[in-house]
Amino acid sequence: MRVLGVDCGSERTGYGVIDSDGRVHRILAAGTIRTSARDPFPARLAKIAGGLREVMSGHGPSEAAVEAVFHAVNAQSALKLAHVRGAVLLVLAEAGLSCAEYSALEVKQSVTGFGRADKEQVQFMMRSMFGSAAPVNQADACDALAVAVCHAVRSTFTRRMGAAS
């Protein structure tokens, strides 16, 4: 399966595309869509949407996963993040992709074995899985790859359990 993972943010939205059989994962693309806080917010949403459309057209994911929101520093930040997630979910729906959502705890548990892992531990695991292809200097891209890996592992497990019953 080819999975697009997205880590939403109003200034930096990370993305990662992997090929996976649920056990072995191969990175195809990872990066960050950056916007400027000086730009009007609708323009920033359009840039994020356009960037994701570009990634999807270049790599053709069959499934997508997004990190679920669990908290924000303040109400304004939470509202902006919700708008970004809305734009991302719309782009994924327009492309006809099924989209799973995972909490940060689920993602960290899936890739590090510890749900309260810090960003450095997630980056270490992405480097361990993907070697020099892992964008460890881009925390948002690493987080997006972790979301993609989490989805690949969990959806493969769910499919296998369904086939066994």
Quick one: which H or E segment has residue 25? strand 25-34
19 is catalytic: no
Catalytic residue selected from 63, 106, 140, 143: 140
pLDDT at 156 (0 to 100): 81
Task: Check residue 69 and give its pLDDT.
Answer: 77
Could you confirm whether 106 is annotated as catalytic?
no
Q: Look at residue 72 in the predicted model and tell me its pLDDT.
A: 62
pLDDT computed for residue 140 by the predictor: 94
Helices (H), the chain: 41-59, 75-94, 104-112, 119-130, 139-164
Regions of the chain with pLDDT less than 50: none
pLDDT at 113: 93
Count: domains in the chain: 1
Q: Which of 19, 54, 63, 67 is catalytic?
A: 67
pLDDT digits (tens, 9 = 90+) for 83-113: 999 999 999 999 999 999 999 999 999 999 9
Question: Which of 7, 63, 106, 143 is labelled catalytic?
Answer: 7
> Looking at residue 37, what is its pLDDT?
94
pTM for the model stands at 0.93
What domain range includes position 74?
Answer: 2-164
CATH number reported for the structural domain that contains residue 54 in this entry: 3.30.420.10
Active-site annotation holds for 67:
yes
